[in-house]
Amino acid sequence: MDDIRVKIINEVSQLGNIVSALKSIGSNSFSNLQILENDLMDAEQRKFLLTIRDELKKLDERLKDMTWLNSHLRILQDFGQTCTQTLNEQILMEKAYELVSRVMPTDAFFIALHDEDSPDIHFPFMADEGEIVEPDTISLDSSSFTAKVIKSKETIHAKTAEELDEFNVTFGTGNQGKTCIFVPIIIDDKVKGVISAQSNQEFAYRREHEELLQMIGNQVMSSIITAQLYSKNYKMSLTDEMTSLGNYRAFHSDLEDLIQENNPLALIMIDSDGLKGINDTYGHHAGDLYIKALADGMKSIHVPNAKAYRYSGDEFMFILKNPSMENVKNIFKELRACLAGRPININGINIYVSFSGGAAIYPAHAQSAEELKRTADHALYMSKRMGKNQDKIYCGAGL
């Protein structure tokens, strides 16, 4: 009986030690399991408990991996939401930095962009010790990590200062840390840039950090490409294809904005004098040259705060911010002088472009955009009644 009692006590004691060892997992320590390797165990018990210890270690590693994966996926989801809410490149890069900093050290961080037709690398976003620093540009021919990654299309992950020295290159910007990751951003098999995180501690990053930077970098670049495409298409929607001036839509948008801001402005209407005759005599190709010549003349105007538009056909507009009567008159004067020196040649014949002009000023002559257009149009009508190549500034219903 006494032998059985002693055996039970020993078994309970061993179970207590196992429970204590299991509790030690919460502190990520497996050393307490060593206390189970004592003289009271036989070989089978020791083998069994060592197996448990090894399995617990594996479970702990898997737990760490799952925790990292959960944070990883949450960051990608958060950044994906940001990408759907804005096309502002600066906001996208700042958000990328903020999210990456949640799960890995970022004593330094940057996003670099590179156009394959450019000899330079542009750094539109850089952070050092938590502070956003000014953008920078370096040469693709420099001996920098960034240039090396762009040329090789391969990630650089240096875990120690000694490893950094082995690369025999310098940083693209800033001071050198001890652990660095430089990941190429590759879209359609072309390196569009580099995303980098750097730590002052050695062995600060693991393989998963490379993967996170790669995915964040690709999302940033895809969003930037989308933003640039949107900007290009939006600009095209506001640009006259033939003359590259602002179009009807751009004119109305700019005019309404300036009126809403209650900014003083002059509206100057320009109408060619002889387009119909040119089309009838020489054909519409000649008419297009006539329109382009007038538009080129408008582009050459050097009066401050003046913006030119092709409104429709051979009708053009200037919006002049903070105008003076002298500046309005100078626009007419400079445009006529320019056109007089640039005749168009059609079938060996020099044809001079002329125009009629009318102008009105807000708020002196009108209190709204529509009223301003009517008064400027009335001034244009009166200039045409005077004959070709004339201009008028509105000064009342009777002019």
SS (H, E, C) 318-368: EEEECCCHHHHHHHHHHHHHHHHCCCEEECCEEECCCEEEEEEEECCCCCC
Q: Based on the fold, state whether residues 92 and 228 are members of the same structural domain.
A: yes
Q: Would residue 22 count as lying in a domain?
A: yes
Q: Based on the fold, state whether residues 61 and 33 are members of the same structural domain.
A: yes
C-beta neighbour count of 125 within 10 angstroms: 21
What percent of the chain has pLDDT above 90? 54
Task: Reply yes or no on whether the pLDDT at 58 is more than 80.
Answer: no
Q: Based on the fold, state whether residues 36 and 111 are members of the same structural domain.
A: no
pLDDT of residue 54: 75
For 94-207, strand residue ranges (E) read 108-113, 120-128, 131-133, 136-139, 156-158, 179-187, 190-199
Q: Based on the fold, state whether residues 347 and 380 are members of the same structural domain.
A: yes
List pLDDT tens digits, range 342-367. 999 988 899 999 999 999 999 999 99
Q: Would residue 76 count as lying in a domain?
A: no
Q: Would residue 237 count as lying in a domain?
A: no
Beta-sheet pairing, 391-393 with 355-362: parallel
Check if the beta carbon of residue 256 is closer than 8 Å to that of residue 248: no
Q: Based on the fold, state whether residues 126 and 162 are members of the same structural domain.
A: yes
Task: Reply yes or no on whether the pLDDT at 32 is more than 60.
Answer: no
pLDDT of residue 242: 95
pLDDT of residue 160: 83
Q: Based on the fold, state whether residues 222 and 259 are members of the same structural domain.
A: no
Predicted TM-score of the model (pTM)? 0.61
pLDDT of residue 85: 77
Write the CATH number for 209: 3.30.450.40
Q: Based on the fold, state whether residues 97 and 212 are members of the same structural domain.
A: yes
Q: Would residue 398 count as lying in a domain?
A: no
Write the CATH number for 350: 3.30.70.270
Task: Reply yes or no on whether the pLDDT at 399 is more than 90.
Answer: no
- pLDDT category at 15 given cuts 50, 70, 90 is very low
Q: Based on the fold, state whether residues 58 and 98 are members of the same structural domain.
A: no
Q: Based on the fold, state whether residues 121 and 55 are members of the same structural domain.
A: no
Q: Based on the fold, state whether residues 265 and 144 are members of the same structural domain.
A: no
List pLDDT tens digits, range 65-92. 555 556 666 777 777 777 777 778 888 8
List pLDDT tens digits, range 216-261. 899 889 888 888 888 889 889 999 999 999 999 999 999 999 999 9
Of 67, 98, 119, the last residue of a domain is: 67
Of 17, 35, 67, the last residue of a domain is: 67
Report how many domains make up the chain.
3
Q: Would residue 273 count as lying in a domain?
A: yes
Q: Would residue 212 count as lying in a domain?
A: yes
The H or E element spanning position 15 is helix 2-23
Residue 153 lies in domain: 86-232
Q: Would residue 301 count as lying in a domain?
A: yes
Q: Based on the fold, state whether residues 36 and 144 are members of the same structural domain.
A: no
Q: Would residue 78 count as lying in a domain?
A: no
pLDDT of residue 397: 52
Choose between 311 and 16: higher pLDDT: 311
Q: Based on the fold, state whether residues 177 and 252 are members of the same structural domain.
A: no
